[in-house]
Amino acid sequence: MSEVRKPRDPVTGHIKALAKGFKYLIEPNRMTLDYPAETMKLPPNYRGFFTVDDVKCIGCSMCEMVCPPEAITMVPRIVGSGGKTLPAESAPQDQKAAKRTKRPVVNWGKCIFCYFCVDVCPVDAFRPTGVHDVAFYTDREYRPTYEEYLNPPEDPYKSSKKVVSKADKKRGVSYEPAP
Amino acid sequence: MMELIPLIIWLIQDLLYIVVFPGLVTILVLAIVIIWLERKIAAKVQMRFGPLWVSKRIGGALQSVADLLRFSFQEFIVPEKSDRWAFIVAPGLMFAFSMISLIFIPVGPYYSYLFPSYYTILFSVGMIIITPIFAILVGWSSDNKFSFIGALREAFLLISYEVPFLLSVASMIVLYRTFNYVDAVAYQFRGLPGLVLNPLAALTLLIVMIRTTGRFPFDITEADSELVMGLFTEYSALFFGIGMATPYVELYAFSLIFSLLFLGGWWPAPLYAHGPIMGLIIPGIVVVVKAFIVMALLVFLRAVYPRYRLDQAIRSGWSYVLLLSVLSVLLSFGEVMLLR
């Protein structure tokens, strides 16, 4: 209860702090990446942008049901030749025989990259692309059409140096070129 | 007609003085360099890269220029409920008074021929002291709670640190027995620099410099984790740039005062010299280099210190710093008695 606090020494602490800062200034101990020029080489199963195989997908809507942020919408399509689908509007009006189906489209602004859709898919139609960090300039680009969704965004850091992180006793973490 | 020629030469020299040393061009270049240096030093100590995207080859040195250009082309928004005139005029006045103080600070012996005045120390100190009043005006006119809290903090700190500042300058006036920078520098040429003669006053002035220019342990008025941008929360475009640059101009003025009062002024250069080159350019470079070293030392503090709380800062202002400044005045009196 009656814990007596020592009077604070107004000088020593300041000198110690300044000396430590000066030490770090002279021998920099950098831990961060020079980001756009160097990027981390990510493990193969790291969740990123994914696309769907147009032929494999059976349009069962399981992914839409399981999606926690409701980022997936099913768009109406009709089955064309060779299993590929065509836009629903392209079906001739009188042709009742056109086989109707659905395909998923992801809203990248809502998607949380949980990969529940990939796990739940009964035919393994979703395919990760290995692209992880893309920024969009407009709101429109976050909501691709189905044709745009089939060609997911390209990796903007293809030419950057890939590095992997390594535990380092002295610095905490260090980076070395990816094998 | 022939009588006009010396007048024109005189005017050109005046302009040279105001524009180059210690005036506008030097301030602009130094502000850009020191902002870059501050960010780079803080990044180095905190294990980061710092600004690097603009002009990567020279370590991102042009980042501040890019920021300045960005500020210049932004839209300036005046909030609807702000006090319109005060909102527009106050940052300009704040900037102007910190610049005006530079006119009274000589950077060479030639200065005393250009602006003969005996009371330069008083004038420069008086002009610098005026600037926080406009800072309070900025906070009041914005009609924003963050600006208002920032202005209140500025007022509290202004009151508690102005007394030590004036006392530390007064102690040097007592010691040098002059109100004039050139005579103060001459005194240091004859003996030791003021830093050795009265280290207490030097320490006090350093602490007050950190406080007035909002360097890190006293970054209380624009504490960006509590008050978005402090006083300048509502400002945009070039006015925000002015608000960001004003502390650096003040820092420059304070560093010039520090190097003139405590670091021997233009010491390696000759004390009295005629002509603009030996009398203005070379001493000017010496003084500005000294001031730059002081500035670099103070921006280094950003990397080390956390922020004081307002009550801690006020308490240390009225206890340690006031005590130091009173002791420095006593020390000066003692030295004057002994040396006489």
Do residues A29 and B48 make contact, with C-beta atoms less than 8 angstroms apart? no
Beta bridge mates, A167: A173
Burial code (b: 16+ CB inside 10 Å, e: under 16) for B314-339 equals bebbeebbbebbbbbbebbeeeeeee
Cα–Cα distance measured from residue A131 to residue A133, given in angstroms and rounded to the nearest whole number: 6
Question: CA torsion B122→B123→B127→B133, rounded to 10°?
Answer: 50
Asked, for residue A38, whether it belongs to a domain, the answer is no
pLDDT value, residue B305: 85
- Token representation of residue B157: 């700190």
pLDDT the model gives residue A151: 83
pLDDT digits (tens, 9 = 90+) for B154-200: 888 888 888 899 998 899 888 888 888 888 888 888 888 888 888 88
Number of compact structural domains in chain A: 1
Residue A81 placed within a domain: yes
Q: What is the CATH number of the domain that holds A72?
A: 3.30.70.3270
Q: Supply B149's token pair.
A: 């809290």
Q: List chain A residues with pLDDT less than 70.
A: 1-8, 10, 91-97
What is the pairing mode between strands A161-168 and A38-40?
A: parallel
Instruction: State how far the Cα of B340 lies from the Cα of A103, in Å rounded to an integer.
Output: 97
B41 against B7, higher pLDDT: B41
Average pLDDT, chain B: 84
Residues of chain B whose C-beta is under 8 A from some C-beta in A?
Answer: 41, 44-49, 52-53, 300-301, 303-305, 320
Given a cut of 70, is residue B67 above it in pLDDT?
yes
What is the value of pTM for the model shown? 0.79
Q: Is residue A131 domain-resident?
A: yes
Give pLDDT, residue B1: 66
Provide the residue range defining the domain that includes A67: 52-150
Does A140 map to a domain? yes
Percentage helix, strand, coil for chain A under 3-state DSSP, each rounded to 5? 20, 25, 55
| Cβ-defined contact of B45 to A10 (cutoff 8 Å) | no
Give, as one character, the DSSP assignment of residue A75: E
Give the best residue of A9, A15, A16, A18 to mutate against chain B (max B CB count within 10 A): A18
Q: Of B157, B154, B161, whose CA–CA distance to B136 is shortest?
A: B154
* Residue B91 belongs to domain spanning: 4-339
pLDDT of residue B120: 84
Q: How confident is the model at residue B270 (pLDDT cuts 50, 70, 90)?
A: confident
Quote the pLDDT of residue A92.
64
pLDDT at B18: 67
Chain A: nearest CA to B259, how far in angstroms?
Answer: 21
Q: What is the nearest CA distance from B48 to chain A, expressed in angstroms?
A: 6
For the stretch B281-313, pLDDT in tens is 788 888 888 889 998 888 888 888 888 888 888
C-beta atoms of A24 and B305 within 8 A: no
What B11-17 contacts at long range (C-beta under 8 Å, 24+ apart), as own/partner pairs, is B13/B114, B13/B276, B14/B114, B16/B276, B16/B280, B17/B111, B17/B114, B17/B280
pLDDT in tens, B98-121: 888 888 888 777 666 666 778 888
| Residue carrying structure tokens 């006009």 | B4
Written in H, E and C, the secondary structure of A109-138 is CCCCCCCHHHHHCCCCCEEECCCCCCCCCC
What ipTM is given for this predicted complex?
A: 0.74
DSSP conformation class of B29: H
Domain-embedded: residue A39: no
Name the phi and psi angles at A85, rounded to 5: -105, 160
Identity of residue B190: R
Residue to mutate among A27, A30, A160, with most B CBs inside 10 A, is A30
CB distance B47 to B40 below 8 Å: no
How many domains is chain B partitioned into structurally?
A: 1
Q: Cα–Cα–Cα angle for B333, B339, B340, nearest 5°? A: 90
> Directed axis angle between helix B282-304 and helix B199-212, to 10°?
70
